[in-house]
Structure formats: C-alpha cells, structure tokens
Amino acid sequence: MTVLVTGGAGFIGSNFVYHMLKKYPDYKIICVDCLTYAGNLSTLEKALENPNFVFLKTDICDREEIYKIFDEHKPDIVVNFAAESHVDRSIENPEVFLKTNILGTQVLMDACRKYGITRYHQVSTDEVYGDLPLDRPDMFFTEETPLHTSSPYSASKASADLLVLAYYRTYNLPITISRCSNNYGPYHFPEKLIPLMIANALADKPLPVYGKGENVRDWLYVEDHCEAIDLIIHKGKAGEVYNVGGHNEMKNIDIVKLICKKLDKPESLITFVTDRKGHDLRYAIDPAKINKELGWLPKTKFSDGIEKTIKWYLNNKQWWETIISGEYRDYYDKMYRNR
Ligand code: NAD
Ligand code: TYD
C-alpha cells in the first residue's frame, strides 16, 4: 500500500507520517510538501531514515509535478493536509489561502482521477461551520450543520470541501472529508495559541490574549486526530463527511492561565490585546457519527495531553527556538507590536 501525504512537514501531517510509519511498517509513505514558513524538514528527520519514506519538495498547485509524482509512485490513498492554516495570516493576506487550499485541492483530485486511487481524503476543519453562541452550551456542530464561514481561511477550506463533494457526485471519485476541532501537541508551529503561550511564558514575555479571552475552542490531542484519519481512510464510507472532536471545550483565558501555572509563571504576564477581526466565539464538535460508525473516541484527556505537550516543548527547545529566531520574528513584530 502506498499512501501519499501532502503537508507532511507541518504540524498534523508530520504527526500523521510518524503514526503511519509506526503502525504500518509495510506501507510506503510519500510526503509532498513545498516547505512554506510552516513546513520544517527537521521535523521529518527521523522519518527520513526510514527506507519506506520518501520526501518530495513540491507545491500541490504544480499540476505537472504532481502528475509526475502520481505517475511514478502510483499512490493507493491520498491524504491532503497541505494548506495555509493560520486564521490571522489569512486576514492579512487571503490570496495564497485561496490558491493552495482550493486550487491545490483541485490539482490533487484531478491527479487522482487521471491515475486512479482507492481513496482521496481531505483534511478539513470545524471552522467551516462558522461559530456557535457562547450562551448555548447545548449546541454542537454536526455533519448537517450548514457551512457558514467567518475568515478567509475558513472560507477557503469550505470551498475546498464543496469541490471535494462535487468530485464525488460528478466523477464518483472515492473521497472522504474529516472536519476536526483545534489540535495541540508536538511540532505545533509557535504562531498558534498553545505553543505561542508556552514559548512566550518561558521567555517571560507578554502573553497576548485577544479580546477578553472568552472565546471557546474544542481541543484535541493531535495523535487522536491521526487515529481518526487512519480509521476513515481504511474503514470510512466514500462520499461521507466525519466530524472529529473530543468534547473538550475551553476558554482561551483558562488555557493561558493553565500554561502559566504549569510553567510556574505569574499571570501578570497575560496582556489583553485588540481582538481578531470577525473572531469566532465558540467551536464545539459532536463526534457521534464517527463514534457510532467507526468506533472512534479520543484517548488522551486534556490534562494528560497538555502535560505531554509542555514537556515536549521543554525537551525540544532547539526545534522551536530556530523557528522563532528567523523570519517569524518579523511576523511577530508586525502582528503584535502595536496591538
Ligand atoms: P501547518 O500550517 O502546520 O502545515 C501545513 C503544511 O502544508 C506545511 O508543511 C506547509 O509547508 C505545507 N504546504 C502549504 N502550502 C503548500 C503547498 N502549496 N504545497 C505543498 N505543501 C504546502 O498546518 P496544520 O495545523 O498541520 O494543518 C494541517 C491541515 O489540517 C490543514 O489542512 C488544516 O486546515 C487542517 N486542520 C488543522 C487544525 C489545527 O488545529 N491545526 C484543525 C483542523 C483541521
Ligand atoms: P489559533 O491557535 O490561531 O487557532 P484558531 O484561530 O484556528 O482557533 O487561536 C486559538 C484561539 O486563541 C483563538 O480564539 C484566537 C486566540 N489567540 C489569542 O488569544 N492570542 C494569540 O496570540 C493567538 C495566536 C490566538
């Protein structure tokens, strides 16, 4: 079995590569990633020692190169993680989000049609459903919740989802889609909430909380997401959408306070800054379908997952210190200096 994983040098894709290499030692894993600011080859250092792993530096929008890769490696399954993934960056510059997230998806599915595959899996997000009110804890996103996006990021992901469903209906391409809640864990790029707060707290820098910190996210440990995708590509039904999330809702401010406590840092580091434009209030997934049909349930409790994550950032300082010392520093200055 050959599995082509796009975006495998990013946060979730790399965790998925390691998950697959460990669980299926006889599978060949081909990773396609063009190494944007969010992709890091050092993340795949250990995978590169495995003879069943191949890394190809290619843009998923490059039709010619993608067709060549399909022609040579003949993947059975394609899992598309490659995307521009950061909401704040999409607010600054939407264009690349439309290109990679929509047109890149189209190129990959065209290659799947041309060369034939048993499954194309699109890694999507709960953000395609928009947000839920803070005062209705009884409301959750189901697979039937209408798409209702807020940011250029979520709009691009929803557009891709519609295209994927259109390729199923029109061309009978055997697709599946997973819509997952916020992930956390090792190799999370330090521009996102949890790793950013860990890195800043360790450096005794201000912890910039948007608005009042009341926004709620539904956090899932990344390995649980990888297991869900593994189940869907092997046992999920073509044409179906599966929501993935673990009923673990937390307010941003509570996460930041917890990180301060775990790192023994004062809450006085917390700084409330100007809110994100169009900031989604609450995300909350109802995972009943994937639980009932595929038996998936998250295995990692948040208290254990956050402990493991903090430990990982403490033990792998070189990985993230290299990132925040480079081009990222200009991004940070631009986004936070006068906020
Ligand atoms: P990430 O930004 O950490 O990684 C994205 C990877 O894609 C990077 O390695 C980057 O180099 C690569 N990439 C970007 N554009 C590319 C292109 N044109 N061609 C080839 N490679 C390209 O993102 P992530 O957090 O790992 O998210 C992976 C996927 O999961 C995305 O599709 C995202 O929408 C989805 N998702 C993320 C979360 C989350 O909490 N992070 C939750 C739900 C869904
Ligand atoms: P983020 O990690 O960017 O994920 P997403 O926007 O996809 O949910 O942000 C998670 C939450 O944390 C979101 O409500 C915005 C908030 N946030 C802050 O308060 N401060 C920050 O510096 C960042 C990056 C995010």
Encode pLDDT of 261-280 as tens digits: 999 999 999 999 999 999 99
Give the span between the Cα atoms of 163 and 103, in whole angstroms: 10
Structure confidence at residue 330 (pLDDT): 80
Nearest CA to ligand 2 atom 11: 193
Q: Is the pLDDT of residue 327 over 80?
A: no
Which pLDDT belongs to residue 332? 84
Atom of ligand 2 nearest to the CA of 207: 22
Residue with tokens 């480079």: 326
Average pLDDT value over all residues in the chain? 97
pLDDT of residue 328: 75
300 CA distance to ligand 2 centroid (A)?
21
Position 57 pLDDT exceeds 80: yes
Kindly report the pTM of this predicted structure.
Answer: 0.98
Residue with tokens 């950061």: 86
In-domain check, residue 76: yes
Give the ligand whose atoms come closest to the C-alpha of residue 43.
1
Domain count, the chain: 1
Helix axes 105-115, 152-171, angle to 10 degrees: 20
**Is 199 close to ligand 2, i.e. is its CB under 6 Å away?**
no
Q: Which atom of ligand 1 is nearest to the CA of 153?
A: 34
Starting from the CA of residue 190, give the closest ligand: 2
Note the pLDDT of residue 72: 98
When pLDDT is cut at 50, 70 and 90, the band that residue 331 belongs to is confident
pLDDT above 90 coverage of the chain, percent: 94
pLDDT for residue 275: 98
44 assigned to some structural domain: yes
Q: Is residue 275 part of a domain?
A: no
CA–CA separation, 271 vs 275, rounded Å? Answer: 12
| pLDDT tens sequence across 64-104 | 999 999 999 999 999 999 999 999 999 999 999 999 999 99
Query: For residue 205, how far is its CA from the centre of ligand 1 (angstroms)?
Result: 27
Is 268 a domain residue?
A: no
Confidence check: pLDDT of 326 > 80: no
Output the residue whose Cα is nearest ligand 2's atom 5: 87
Catalytic residue among 18, 129, 153, 221: 153
In a domain, 51, yes or no: yes
Q: Are 191 and 328 in contact (CB under 8 A)?
A: yes
* Nearest listed ligand to the Cα of residue 277: 2
Domain of 64 in residue numbering reads as 2-187+221-247+280-302
* Residue among 255, 87, 112 nearest 175 (CA): 112
Q: Looking at residue 58, which CATH number applies to its domain?
A: 3.40.50.720
Distance (Å, whole) CA 274 – CA 14 = 33
User: Which residues are near ligand 1 (CB < 6 Å)?
Assistant: 6-7, 9-13, 33-36, 38-39, 59-61, 81-85, 100, 104, 123, 125, 157, 180, 182-183, 189
- Give the residue whose CA is nearest to atom 21 of ligand 2: 193
Instruction: Please say if 230 is a catalytic residue.
Output: no
Nearest to 72 by CA among 35, 40, 32: 32
**Does residue 153 have an active-site annotation?**
yes
127 included as an active-site residue: yes
- Residues with Cβ within 8 Å of residue 86, at least 6 apart in sequence: 38, 153, 189, 191, 192
Q: How many angstroms does the Cα of residue 33 sit away from the middle of ligand 1?
A: 10
pLDDT tens-digit readout, 93-151 = 999 999 999 999 999 999 999 999 999 999 999 999 999 999 999 999 999 999 999 99
Report yes or no on 198 lying in a domain: no
In a domain, 320, yes or no: no
Which residue among the candidates 59, 84, 126, 227 is catalytic per the annotation? 126
Total residues belonging to the chain: 339
Domain assignment present for 274 = no
